[in-house]
Amino acid sequence: MRTTSTTTTRTFPTGLTQALKERVLALTDVARPEGPAFLAAAAGTEVAKAVDFGALEKLCKPLIVPAALAIALRDGGLREGRLSPVDTALLAATGAAYTTGDVILMLGEGHAGRSSTRLVSGAAAFGVGHLALGGLMLRSGLRFKPLQVALHGVIAGSAGAVLLAEDRSNAPLAAYGGLLAALSALATSVDRRNGPAASVLAVAGPVFLLSDALILVRRKTEGGSVLARALDVGVIDTYATAALLLLTGTAAAARTAGRVS
């Protein structure tokens, strides 16, 4: 039993590394335009944030998640199995909710705004997406592991305490943080039973948490400064990465569950 456990521990990181490499390579496959489209949308948004070019951001940012969703829906092919209509609907609902959140934030001062009103509205949209995606993860066989729940509980509790200490009106943001932490706890509970391509979920959850943490830091940074623009780019980098890995990783887990059932 000890040998089996050690082998499992060693092979999961190896599989994760391979899955991440394959995901990066797939983005440059010109035979499938959604990969290059995702890269173009993310890069365009990064440039827009770096140089404060609002028109370019409005053109590119709303395309990030739809491109990632297209990749997730087209992944696999016949040998990997097809997504069921319910799986597809949950993925589409996630993509729609995330894109709505992007647009809500983008039409104001973005994630850098000092007012929490628009941030709460954006968080509500993302929350709907998290619930849909979490439902698909559970449907695909992922189950919470105690260690992941405990670690993410500490993270959510600490972040919530900071937000509430800053202002009691931040309670909705603290609640959103708890929901995101729960999604990350479930994503990082992925294991070999969910298929090798689903292993990217182990990275996706923490990267999304990092992206939202950068948003909180950015809100306290002086606008227009080098640090502020670097944080803006960092938020986009981590968000685009997390969205891509969450959607494709969950779709892969759903396909694996479909083959097994």
* Cα 240 from Cα 251, distance rounded (Å): 17
Rg over CA atoms, the chain: 18
pLDDT tens-digit series, residues 111-155: 555 567 888 999 999 999 999 999 999 999 999 999 999 999 999
- Residue 61 CB neighbour total at 10 angstroms: 25
Domain of 121?
2-260
Residue 256 pLDDT exceeds 90: yes
* Cα 130 from Cα 147, distance rounded (Å): 21
Q: At what angle do helices 226-260 and 64-74 cross, to 10 degrees?
A: 20
Using alpha carbons, select from 177, 204, 190, 183 the residue that is nearest to residue 72: 204
pLDDT tens-digit series, residues 192-240: 999 999 999 999 999 999 999 998 888 888 777 889 999 999 999 999 9
Q: Which two tokens stand for residue 138?
A: 């559970």
DSSP state of 112: G
* Cα 44 from Cα 57, distance rounded (Å): 7
Burial 218-247 (b: 16+ CB within 10 A, else e): bbeeeeeeeebbebbbbbbbbbbbbbbbbb
pLDDT tens-digit series, residues 90-114: 999 999 999 999 999 888 665 555 5
DSSP state of 222: P
Q: Write the CA distances from 220 to 91, 162, 167, integer angstroms.
A: 34, 13, 14
> Token match 């890995």: residue?
245
Q: Indicate the number of domains in the chain.
A: 1
| 0.75 surpassed by pTM | yes
